[in-house]
Chains A and B, each alone.
Chain A
């Protein structure tokens, strides 16, 4: 059996708006594997959440989506809304980015959690439902889990709401979980706990996890593979440790240098408009290494030179296709590596 759960190929998402066509995701290609955590990091507004939402087909009606989303061999984009509802939540769950608009303000947490559990587990007695709901909150380290069930979202702190969302995402024991910023707003201790829980979920149940995050430390520690998004494109992709230790793309390098622990040196300038993206490299006007061809030509994803070297080095020892495959994965959309 292959360990691949979902193959996303050449995914394009655009929105028709008054100011023109917004190209939010452009040619995204990646694989999600059983028991593996794929991290999606990058610029705000680069299309991470839109990519995540497109996997559960929760984009607004004015979005146009093309490409293929092969999940267990089926293309999700070809499924009827009814077939998609069978999969959403049960098999593929989403922890949305925004707790404020994702929780119903006039329903208690208990009823929202019970509803989430019922949607996947079918009919169960109310006592059991309550116990399960409290259990989920408890697993998130919510103090007084039973008490919380009777409260409304406005009575919770920001980090508590965040944990309720995570609990709802986990309610159906999905085989693919898309977690959009699950650790934002959590204190350092709970951040560790939630991170461990997500890792456990992947390792123990074999679920695949797509983790969208701005927390680069969490991405480095938790993920097997990481993709970096900029202006709708995945501009770098590779094994997490290697990507952070040897970032290839000038954007990724700039991003890492912007971390508070690395001195917080921001990348100058702002991202291009998504309605009028540059023809060539999307990072061209902010890039310190730009060359003439970068302006007009669109770079492909190129392998890192470093990868070739380690490849050759490990070949005799390792000798397997697996070693090569793992090493060959690090690539960036930049002419420096062409």
Chain B
């Protein structure tokens, strides 16, 4: 579904921050249709940057992105517009994903109304159905983001991404603010949706056990590089790269 060839990015330096920063070294990999690819690794290693690059939310310094065989690297904003709906991202910090001055209901409806997919009544109905799925009570809808808990925000953001019925979804730490029971519910939900609608995921998380549950393959990043990419079981049971070994060990250390 997605083929990434030598994609890379350097954040420019400015007068204040001094030197620039190579956030993503040339990366080459693919994501198969219907697959769930996990991305784990060092904090600050470029996972979120890579995700934004392949959705063309930020511009790459070089490399190519093939979406369903078509090279979209050079697409203009206008050419991207019809694809925007299919390629969705759930950002890492849900608080910043919602407009603090809009009610949750408005935030939920905004994308579908913007894309003129359905009228307000139908959108409302769909939103209510999705809220049920993510386990949020409709009574929260007139509230503003600061009036609900972190986990409630995260579930609203998930529902909002699903409103558009995307084909490819980047999930950047989608459950980091949820309790483990709601996390398990949301994960089941995400898995079900993936199977039902044939969705493809890029799933970023620091919880290796969770990634193993969710993903067929896992890529491990360190300092802008994908140092290892393999089947989930292999990464967890027989990691090859020294950094992967360190990471897996540190994660398992808490299990005892």
Contact = CB atoms under 8 A, between A and B. Distances in A.
B22 interface: no
Nearest to B15: A150
Contacts of A218: 254
A49 to B, nearest CB: 7
A188 B177 contact: no
A126 interface: no
A265 B187 CA distance: 10
A44 B175 CA distance: 11
B126 to A, nearest CB: 19
Interface residues of B, number: 59
Interface stretch (B61-69, B72-80, B178-186): B178-186
Interface-central residue, A181, A189, A275, by most chain B CB under 10 Å: A189
Contacts of B208: 188
Contacts of A157: 43-45, 47-48
A70 B92 CA distance: 37
A42 B182 CA distance: 10
B142 A264 contact: no
Given A147-B17, A260-B213, A188 B206 contact: yes
Contact of B181 (A19, A143, A181, A258): A258
Interface footprint category on A: 35 or more
A190 B95 contact: no
A191 B206 contact: yes
B121 interface: no
B18 A187 contact: no
Given A99-B93, A264-B184, A187 B206 contact: yes
A157 B206 CA distance: 13
Contacts of A221: 254
Interface in B179-226: 179-185, 187-188, 206-210, 212-213
Contacts of B11: 155
A151 B16 CA distance: 7
B148 A19 contact: no
B151 interface: yes
Contacts of A99: 93
B178 A188 contact: no
25 contacts: A43-B179, A43-B181, A43-B182, A44-B149, A44-B152, A44-B154, A99-B93, A147-B17, A157-B43, A158-B172, A187-B40, A188-B251, A189-B247, A191-B206, A214-B180, A255-B180, A258-B184, A260-B180, A260-B184, A261-B255, A264-B183, A264-B184, A264-B187, A264-B188, A273-B137
